[in-house]
Structure 1
Amino acid sequence: MTFTGTQLGEISALLRKEGIYSSHLSTWRRQRAADERAALAPQKRGRKADPAQAEDRRVHQLTQENERLRRRLAQANAIIEVQKKLCVLFGLPTDETPSESC
């Protein structure tokens, strides 16, 4: 069933009869326009990203970063140990030996 509403006031009478306010019409028109714009917007092409793969990739990256940081920490600890040994050899104070200036 279609309604043409050719005579003055027919649309208003129909809206009152159905309990529809003019604000409903403007809201619906606004929503329709927004949907039309969204439908015409360019869509991302290709396969959709798999969330499981993205999570696996992130876990792999974090594991690699963790290993890299562990290697750097081991290297830093080795350098600190060498510096402590050199301080002992040269008789310089270290943090482990109490200084006499206090």
Structure 2
Amino acid sequence: MTMTLTDAGSFDDGVVTPRAERPKRRTFTAEYKAAILAEYDAADRGDRGAILRREGLYSSHIVEWRKAAAAGATTALGPKTRDRRDRELEQLRARAEKAEAELARTKAALDIVGKAHALLETLSESTGTPKPPQR
């Protein structure tokens, strides 16, 4: 009985090491998806696989992108980060409105303090008490 070793270069010592880096998920723009769909649909059946290999895509990408385009969801073809940007933009608008309201309250309070100061000065002059020296 003869045993052959198929992979003489590798050695498994049983030690589990952490992955060097987690793979990054690719995102595609709506323009890219539309361009690939158009090119894929225009190509002959034999050339479609070459397009997928060239772009590093799977046929499932094409299926999903077609469904999104057929549903009329051109925004669905775009990256989903728009939802996050919209939420962030809405939060920033809310913060700006809150800051503007607080600024208006602060201005009103300063105006009231200024008027109170002027009133107290007028009352002080009318009673004849000496004015404190100005700094």
Length-normalised TM-score, structure 2: 0.39
Please name the residue that 2:10 is paired with: 17
What SS does the corresponding residue of 2:129 show, helix, strand or coil? coil
CA distance in 1, matches of 2:131, 2:116: 14
How many aligned residue pairs are there? 65
Q: Which has the higher contact order (CA 8 A, sep 6+)?
A: 2
Please name the residue that 1:76 is paired with: 113
2:130 to 93, 97, 101: 93
Gaps of 5+ in 2: 1-6, 20-82
Map 1:59-74 → 2, pairs under 5 A: 59-74=96-111
Q: Give me the CA root mean square deviation.
A: 3.3
CA distance in 2, matches of 1:20, 1:75: 80
Length-normalised TM-score, structure 1: 0.50
The superposition leaves residues 44-96 of structure 1 with CA deviations (integer Å, 9 ceiling, x where unpaired) of: xxx86700000000000000000001001000100000000011111112235
Counterpart of 2:111, as a letter, is A
Give me the identity figure in percent.
11
Gaps of 5+ in 1: 1-13, 29-46
Q: 1:52 to 1:97 in 2, by over 3 A?
A: closer
